[in-house]
A and B are shown apart, each in its own frame.
Chain A
Amino acid sequence: MDLTFSQEQDELRKVVRSFLAKYSDEQAVRRLAADPEGHDVFIWRRMSGELGLQGLAVPEEYGGSGFGYVELGIVFEEAGRALLCGPYFATVALAAEALLRCDDESARHDLLPGIASGETVATLALTEDGGRWDEPGIRLTASGDTTTGWRLTGTKTYVPDGHLADLLLVAARTPVGISLFAVDAADARGLTRIPLPTLDQTRKQARLEFTDTPARLLGTEGTAWPALERTLATASVLLAAEQVGGAAAALDAAVDYARIRVQYGRPIGSFQGIKHKCADMLTEIESARSAAYGGLWALDAGDDMEIAAAAPLAQAFCSEAFTRVAGDNIQVHGGIGFTWEHPAHLYFKRAKSSEALLGSPSYHRELLAARLGI
């Protein structure tokens, strides 16, 4: 296992960073944040067409380029740095992963190529009104069988990009347990999608109501939870990488400002109150990097025990690190940092919404404790 980045990986980072600097600059982020849809098809197409980002870690047999999680993590880190808006996390970290983990080879062949090519926007609908990311939180029911077909009834909510996804992967309960279903949102009967106005406007959420909606069962009925659990672990690590990138951007902004803003006849960065705060931010970020990278390396090594610990660790730590650093960035900026015009709040809000996205830091600490036998 290689615990440092290779030249090719550095190169990937550079390419993605410069792409996002162009297509996800502050102006683009603000435009998409203000737009209820929050998705720019033009950028999305370039992401797939020019860089193949949607299919980066999808195996070649399903139309992707078959890179590993370290590469994917690099992309998420850069996406976080640029506050990329749109359904990338939902499609790649959640939906593609769920398909890869579920035990249904034909579904993979049917559905993954569309995701890899950028044709399909997808998401995972797991949470319900309780906002829980665990097995007991899944209440929505599926009825039917393979001959008559399956039908979903119930509500999913806080679904990332659920308002626009073409493909919904829905976790549902049948008499024998948790199962995963695919719903083609374009022509699904009995599906209502309600966009939810979000505190963090850079990542959209939706409420999905299913009434006897036809769905395709993926894999064997009742056996989906372990695959979903692994999907969530992977998504936790990728989100952690995104959080590291966001935190790093917030620190860069703080440092740039601390260099030029003069008070008492000195740049504020020469005062220890500010300098030490920035040093603590960097220490927090480097520690968060270790947490996130540790998770990525574990994913690539495919070590189940290691993943089970590294994922909640990364999520608990990186969530808090991003929020703290994004808050400190506002503090370093003083009054200007508190304005709508300044980008500092965009990072702060993204940090707070990311904290809640896959379960709170406390929830992940509990997961970790349970898995360590503490």
Chain B
Amino acid sequence: MELDFGPAVRDFRDEVRDWLAAHLVGEFAEHRGVGGPTDGAAWEVRLAWDRELSAGNWLGVGWPREFGGRGLGLVEEIAFEYEYARANAPYRATVNALDLLGPMLLKMGSEEQKKRFLPPILAIEELWGQGFSEPGAGSDLASVRTRAEREGDEWVVNGQKVWTSFGIHADWLYVLTRTDPDSVRHQGLTLLLLPTDQPGVEIRPIRNLAGQDEFAEVFLSDARTGADMVVGEAGQGWRTAMATLGIERGTTLLPQQLTFEREAEALIDLARDRGALDDPMLRRRIVDAWISVRIMRTTNLRTIAELTAGRAPGAQATTAKLYASTRHQQLGHLAMELAGPAGQIVGEDYGLDMRQRSFLLALAETIYGGSSEIQRNIIGEQVLGLPKEPRP
């Protein structure tokens, strides 16, 4: 089943297709399928690819023209993502700014902030990291302790952030801080934009279990940023942060799902090669893997269709992440089983192939953007209306 976007969008889609065919060549083509929301592989090439996309004016398809976008609608955005994923282009290095911060600024930023930050995001001139999590505030994000104090026309920030994706590359961070020292939980939080190029900011890579320096810890000691760098209102940072997380939980799924489909196809090929299709147990798991990715696709199409029809997405928009992340991990286990002992051998310097990377990195999908347990709480409480857990 494919989305039918109608004739007007079909032209746009053809334009995307043609452009990708013409530009996804050479080194870029060699890096087809590389990367993911937490995959730091081939960073430089992918950054160059983002710049290529920028030059073609393909970033910010739905953003207003005045900030460097194309000013098109949701349908075109989706059509673009679809074609992009179909072409198996490298995963964009700067999704954090493109898919999370950018939309958040468009929604909640001041006019000055939009003018100041959106164009360089689309031009890939400034890279961004998300500084929400802390050592003591992961799932329980409302317990952030990083403090920010007003001093004249500046904020002075002290504290520690962690798990900042692509943090070592970031020129700027958007950080959730506590600006009212007497406040608890959701009150008294403020979302600040903070430049990393200053003495008060120290960013250290953390090695993930795939051996990559993909995420980082960030130490803030008297780090400074301007008073005008508050997104939304001071003291209302929780609202701003939740808006971003809402975006995060929704948008990454569509391109990911097409990647999963490709992995399922590769898995079937591998199974055929290995003669594994004659094994009824394996056969069953392979069919189930295929069923899973097909269901993910239909689920996403349902959500897209609802959004483009101007309807509020149904419950499937909330359950999709839990389903996809869980099933993707099963797919990874099966792929590794089919690969057999050869799948256990890595390249030099712990060099992983695509299958191994995907298998390992899938472990993060049930953790980031709200862990599976937190997703279940959200589904239970916000979708099904079950009573809240007693919280302190």
Contact = CB atoms under 8 A, between A and B. Distances in A.
Contacts of B272: 374
A99 interface: no
B42 interface: no
Interface in A200-234: none
B294 A298 contact: no
Q: Which of B295, B306, B373, B380 has the most CB of A within 10 A?
A: B380
A374 B265 CA distance: 10
A290 interface: yes
A269 B388 CA distance: 8
A270 B386 contact: yes
Given A267-B387, A294-B294, A298-B1, A282 B299 contact: no
Contact of A290 (B3, B288, B316, B390): B316
B323 to A, nearest CB: 5
Contact of B379 (A283, A287, A293, A372): A283
Interface extent on A, as a size class?
A: 35 or more
Contact of A374 (B283, B314, B375, B383): B283
Interface string A307-319: 0010001001100
Interface string B260-296: 0000000010011000010000011011101100111
B288 A286 contact: no
Contacts, number: 139
Interface string B299-341: 1011011100101001110011011000000000000000000
Given A255-B386, A287-B299, A290-B302, A275 B380 contact: yes
B389 A270 contact: yes
A270 B386 CA distance: 7
Contacts of A374: 268, 271-272, 277, 283, 286-287, 290
B384 interface: yes
B390 A280 contact: no
B377 interface: yes
A3 B301 contact: yes
Contacts of B1: 1, 3, 294, 297-298, 306
Given A266-B390, A272-B376, 7 more contacts: A2-B309, A259-B385, A275-B386, A290-B295, A290-B316, A291-B298, A293-B298
Instruction: Name the prevailing secondary structure of the B interface residues.
Output: helix
A356 interface: no
Nearest to A251: B384
Contact of A282 (B304, B379, B389): B379
Interface in B346-392: 373, 375-377, 379-381, 383-390
Contacts of A289: 302, 316
Contacts of B111: none
Interface stretch (A38-46, A166-174, A361-369): A361-369
B65 to A, nearest CB: 29
A1 B2 CA distance: 9
A22 B385 CA distance: 26
Interface in B12-53: none
A241 interface: no
B386 A4 contact: no
A272 B389 CA distance: 8
Contacts of B376: 272, 275-276, 279-280
B269 to A, nearest CB: 10
A259 B386 contact: yes
A271 B14 CA distance: 51
Interface in A1-46: 1-4
